[in-house]
Amino acid sequence: MATMQKFNNLTSRIIPLLHNNVDTDQIIPARFLKVTDKAGLADGLFTDWRYNPDGTPKADFVMNRPEYQDAKIILAGDNFGCGSSREHAPWALTGWGVQAVISTSFADIFKNNALKNGLLPVVVDQQWHDNLVDLSEESALAEVRIDLEEQRVYLPDDSYFEFPVDAFAKKCLLAGVDQLGYLLSFDEKISAFEARRDGL
Amino acid sequence: MSTPKTLLDKVWDAHLVAQEPDSPAVLYIDLHLIHEVTSPQAFSGLRGRGLKLRRTERTLATMDHSTPTTPLSLPMLDAQGSAQLNQLQKNCEEFGIQLYELGSENNGIVHVIGPELGFVQPGMTIVCGDSHTATHGAFGSLAFGIGTSEVEHVFATQCLLQHKPRSYQVRVEGKLGVGVSAKDIILALIAKIGIGGGTGHVFEYSGSAISALTMEERMTVCNMSIEGGARAGMIAPDETTFEYLSGREFAPQGAAWEQALASWKQLPSDAGAAYDKSVTLQADELEPMITYGTNPGMGIKISERVPDPGKIANSAERQTLEKSLAYMDIRPGEPLLGHPVDVVFVGSCTNSRISDLRQAAGILRDRKVAQNVRMLVVPGSQKIKKMAEQEGLDKIFIEAGAEWREAGCSMCIAMNGDQLEPGQYAVSTTNRNFEGRQGKGGRTFLASPLTAAASAVNGVISDVRQMM
């Protein structure tokens, strides 16, 4: 069975990227999609927000701040990952080092793609989202801990909230196995379906 | 009596291969469309595992995203794009997939050629590594975009792991006014429910205004379901659907047609079927729509004024709108009518079919594109291009001063060199006005082909109804 990035418990600072509706064209613009592999996409991550036209980093873009260079969690606004189905978006995020995104909601295709790449989408209600925003405003150094097994996110004061995650995707993330192996195990049933319906 | 089923229920149930407890369903996929951008890594995955493609005859490939729209006799200048096209060619040869490559008479945008050739049929499950796969729901199929990992899953197993989406009934009742089109219906819906409004759901469009639409118009509506957050949008098949399909190259023929027709007629939602959500639009109240911001939900009637962030209480929503208006360099409270335009683009999987081109040509006939405006017309497929040329539409466009190009995705995604310059404003018949979508720093107003053509003539955003 093939592997994917295993999701272990994660403790990290949280990068506040609070605009609503961050679309996958922002996460990675289409001009970076002319590749035939997954390598190097982190260079294109949020590139038009990260860099000036002359290629120098924009000092006011949150992911350029020195205190977030090792951060692994993005705290996002509502409906993160909307738009195009490009899996290059989670590839670019994980390539940069992001392992979880916390938001009040995610676009469907992005969420599916993220879960297949060891990138955890954490859905949080508005109250806890506000709490996390407050936390990040109090100190950029504040860390949260994500426990996938428990499906909880712990704040520094040990308060926590629970988050939903698809049971099957959770199993795959914890074990670090990809979903195709499971799907391949249905070979006989797929053949039976094809025989029944199409006479194959 | 059994529980009344929706169209979605019926298509879903007919494709269910397995459903284990605490696991997603194994859903059979009838048609897998692929293109050069989101497939290479999936082929690499297959090779890495030593897997074959399970059903080559259910897979269809085209080149569209990074193909040039300059004359086909010219060499392709973009080495990286060219390498991606060559890779698709090699992959299709190695795995035995039908490819309509650049130069083929069947080549074109993936969501245009699938229906055009008759591959797309009612009741099918259809996927593609492209979010505008929703287009094909116009035929009463369940069609949605997938990521590249899932492309590999379908290659290897002809199945996907899926949770059943919820259902969202979208009724559009009444009659569209003159100058108001399918594009305006979908832009109005997204403006009403927001771009996340349909998340987790599949739209089912119905009502008298939807029934009255042609197949091409229905495709325009379903195409942008994803812009309302829904992965798929469906319309029950009816006589309009059957008439469109009849005689298409890859549609069933003879006895097989009769058999298919009988099963397609069972697909419409049963009377009394329940939906998880529901919304109704009145077609008579619609006007031509246009977007002012940086997501497709930021749309207004063309006669309205740009909303004021100062009047929004929710701080995240306010900041999102402020950021959008700053990017667009548009002031709150101003009308968009009369706003200068640099580029007009007619094309994309949303609006590049023959009826779209006829509408745009109808406005441009005996008129000129304003001197300061660059207008590109990009047909959705080679077949459409040929048809348009037989009708003389190309001459109308060229005489008006527009560029008549080869088929492809072109400036909708700006991967092929067709793109806006930083700061330019475009009225575009495409589906996304995200920052930089049509070229870094470019600014997009989404609208119908009619509104686009009218704005090209006047050089400013215009109400087409005053020109009809």
**pLDDT, tens only, B157-207:** 999 999 999 999 999 999 999 999 999 999 999 999 999 999 999 999 999
- Determine the pLDDT at residue A126: 97
Residues B158 and B171 in one domain: no
The answer to whether B17 contacts A2, with C-beta atoms less than 8 Å apart, is no
The answer to whether A193 contacts B28, with C-beta atoms less than 8 Å apart, is yes
Any domain includes B1: no
Residues B171 and B79 in one domain: no
Residues B271, B31: Cα–Cα separation, whole Å: 29
Q: Is A193 on the interface with B (CB under 8 A)?
A: yes
Residues B205 and B63 in one domain: no
Instruction: Give the mean model confidence (pLDDT) for residues B366-395.
Output: 98
Task: Please name the residues in contact with B155: beta carbons below 8 A apart, sequence gap of 6 or more.
Answer: B32, B42, B43, B46, B51, B53, B54, B59, B95
Any domain includes B2: no
Residues B137 and B188 in one domain: no
Domains, chain A, in order of start with CATH, read 10-198 (3.20.19.10)
Any domain includes B234: yes
pLDDT at A3 over 80: no
The last residue of one of the domains, among B103, B138, B162, is: B162
Contact indicator for B231, B125 with CB cutoff of 8 Å: no
Please give the helix or strand (H or E) that residue B319 lies within, else none: helix B315-328
Any domain includes B358: yes
The encoded tokens of residue A154 equal 């712990």
Residues B85 and B173 in one domain: no
Any domain includes B381: yes
CB pairs under 8 A between A and B: 180
Nearest-Å Rg of the Cα atoms of chain B is 22
Candidate from A53, A90, A190 with C-beta closest to B159 = A190
Provide, as residue numbers in chain A, all residues whose Cβ is less than 8 Å from the Cβ of B437: 25, 30
Angle of helix A108-115 versus helix A88-96 axis, rounded to 10? 50
Q: Is B33 on the interface with A (CB under 8 A)?
A: no
Indicate which CATH number applies to the domain containing B187. 3.40.1060.10
Q: Give the CA distances from residue B314 to residues A16, B297, B319, in Å, rounded to whole numbers and listed in that order.
A: 17, 17, 9
Residues B156 and B228 in one domain: no
Residues B302 and B386 in one domain: yes
Given pLDDT bands bounded at 50, 70 and 90, which one contains residue B1?
low
Any domain includes B389: yes
Residues B270 and B346 in one domain: no
In the stretch 126-155 of chain A, residues with CB closer than 8 A to chain B read none
The encoded tokens of residue A107 equal 């676009």
Residues B202 and B180 in one domain: yes
The last residue of one of the domains, among B128, B162, B196, is: B162
pLDDT at A8 over 90: no
Domain that holds residue B17: 7-162
The last residue of one of the domains, among B144, B162, B180, is: B162
Residues B61 and B188 in one domain: no
pLDDT tens for residues B399-422? 999 999 999 999 999 999 999 999
In the stretch 429-468 of chain B, residues with CB closer than 8 A to chain A read 432, 434-437, 440
Any domain includes B78: yes
- Give the ipTM of the model, two decimals please: 0.97
* Total domains, chain B: 3
Residues B321 and B359 in one domain: yes
Indicate which CATH number applies to the domain containing B342. 3.30.499.10
Residues B325 and B445 in one domain: yes
Any domain includes B210: yes
